[in-house]
Chain A
Amino acid sequence: MTALRAMLGRELRLALRGGGDVLTLVLFFIITGAIVAFAVGPDSVLLARIAPGMVWVAAFLAMLLGLDRLFRPDHEDGALILLRQAELPLSAAIAAKVMVHWLVSALPLILASPLLALQLAMDGETFWRMVASLLVGTPALAAFGAVGAAVTVSIRGGGLIAPILIAPLSIPVLIFGVGSITASQSSAALLFLAALSLMAVSLAPFAAALAISSAED
């Protein structure tokens, strides 16, 4: 347990002291919202209708951007090999990484989402449902992202291929995420989203650990 806590602390410190990555991600998220408004025009009725989908697309893209940071620095400086030898199982170390990845790349987006809601002319009730669906759904995106990053970590310049791999897997998250904001059966969608997140978060560290340990053979 202390090892896990140390791992969490290490990851958090690395992420927060590593410069303005977190702010850049938030900026990207907000700029995406502005680009949508520029692309479809300042029609607030239309914007409000497509807002839930656009928020999810922006969050999805922003989380993909941060993926390369998950394992690549540790792969390059050899820390991943040390983690494999450590007493703490590799899957637990990866679970810690996924948690911190969520804290530094999803939570800031959720905190910044009021700005996006304003840009896209979202009403109050929709806004709260959006916050709920982002809170419940982004852990699944982080978990799938970890699998994609683990699979591509040993490819030189593999940063582009991970999004290609993850995007099809993330489609259910987007469907239920947007569904839980807009659909008539939004509570059912939220439950599906929660189930998906729980499953992804519990299984992804093992899959990612398996991929990483076969990459380092």
Chain B
Amino acid sequence: MSIDTTPKQSWWSRIAHPGQFVAWTSPLLWPLTILTAVLFIIGLWFAFFNSPADYQMGDTVRIMYVHVPNAWLSQFVYGVMTVSALGTLVWRHPMADVSMKAAAPLGAMFTALALFTGALWGRPTWGTFWEWDGRMTSTLVLLFIYLGIVALWRAFDDQLRAARIIAVFTLVGAINIPIIKFSVDWWSTLHQPASVFRADGPTMPGSILTPLFVMFFAFTFLFLTLHLKAMHTEVKRRRVMGLQRRMAQGDAA
């Protein structure tokens, strides 16, 4: 009679091993990529050919299908980073800091895209690329926070030690973001009349809502795919760095 001596592990602790994590999640990568591509094809087809032009904004309304998902991701990615930061600080889960590091540049990119598409949309509809409006300003501040976190990651030599420190900063930022949003809203209503925004128009008809929904999921899956791939890359980069360090030590000895 043999006794099973291997310790029982939950999937949670099994993926804590970076190599195991890559092995387990690699099969997910292709399905995710295909799903993202299909969603983008459907979403873009709806957005370009199968949705009406707005009676006020004309064809420029189609920018919304790119702009709104990016704006959503700019906040969602910070949420992912916050949860990962908790994972780093509370459970010291090794993959949490990889996830945190991989998400930061992606979040910065989505935020920059949200600002960029917003500027492109603002020019024909409001007549200006940039306005110090509350929402735009707080998105800009969010971009600064993302870029600060990316700069912080790059400043540390030791990425393992960096993770816990950056997790602290990410959480401080997470507490601050609502405060920044509130203060910026207070500031912008005080400094300029809210004339650029029409009062809420009629609720969107389904013909616009469908492509928006599809594009929303397409972008979210794009993030998930890129995030997973970036995590794999980070795991491999760390392994390469570890090997290089060992080689250097071997040379010295």
Instruction: State the A residues within 8 Å of B (CB).
Output: 147, 151-152, 154-155, 158, 161, 164-165, 167-169, 171-172, 175-176, 179, 183-185, 189, 192, 196, 203, 207, 210-211, 214-215, 217
A/B interface sample: 25 pairs, CB < 8 A: A147-B168, A151-B152, A151-B169, A154-B165, A155-B156, A158-B155, A164-B148, A165-B148, A167-B144, A168-B141, A168-B145, A168-B173, A169-B172, A171-B183, A172-B179, A172-B183, A175-B184, A176-B183, A176-B186, A185-B190, A192-B183, A207-B168, A210-B89, A214-B165, A214-B167
* B133-181 CB contacts (< 8 Å) to partner A: 141, 144-145, 147-148, 151-152, 155-156, 161, 164-169, 171-173, 175-176, 179-180
Complex interface: chain A residues within 8 A of B176 (CB): 169, 172
Instruction: State the majority secondary structure of interface residues on B.
Output: helix
Contacting pair A214 B164 (CB below 8 A): yes
- In the complex, number of A-B residue pairs with CB atoms less than 8 Å apart: 86
Complex interface: chain A residues within 8 A of B171 (CB): 207
Complex interface: chain B residues within 8 A of A158 (CB): 155
Chain A residue at smallest Cβ distance from B175: A203
Contact of A154 among B161, B175, B184 (CB under 8 A): B161
Contacting pair B173 A175 (CB below 8 A): no
Contacting pair A215 B161 (CB below 8 A): yes
Instruction: State the B residues within 8 Å of A (CB).
Output: 89, 141, 144-145, 147-148, 151-152, 155-156, 161, 164-169, 171-173, 175-176, 179-180, 182-184, 186-187, 190
Contacting pair B186 A196 (CB below 8 A): no
Chain A residue at smallest Cβ distance from B179: A172
B160 to chain A, nearest CB (A): 9
Further 14 A-B residue pairs, CB within 8 A, beyond A171-B180, A172-B183: A154-B161, A155-B156, A161-B151, A164-B151, A169-B176, A169-B180, A171-B184, A172-B176, A172-B182, A183-B190, A196-B179, A211-B168, A214-B164, A215-B161
Most buried by A among B147, B172, B176, B179: B172
* Alpha-carbon distance A165/B147, docked complex (angstroms): 9
* Alpha-carbon distance A158/B156, docked complex (angstroms): 9
Instruction: State the majority secondary structure of interface residues on A.
Output: helix
Chain B residue at smallest Cβ distance from A166: B148
B108 to chain A, nearest CB (A): 13
Contacting pair B180 A161 (CB below 8 A): no
Contacting pair A169 B165 (CB below 8 A): no
Contact of B141 among A171, A176, A183, A196 (CB under 8 A): A171
Contacting pair A214 B184 (CB below 8 A): no
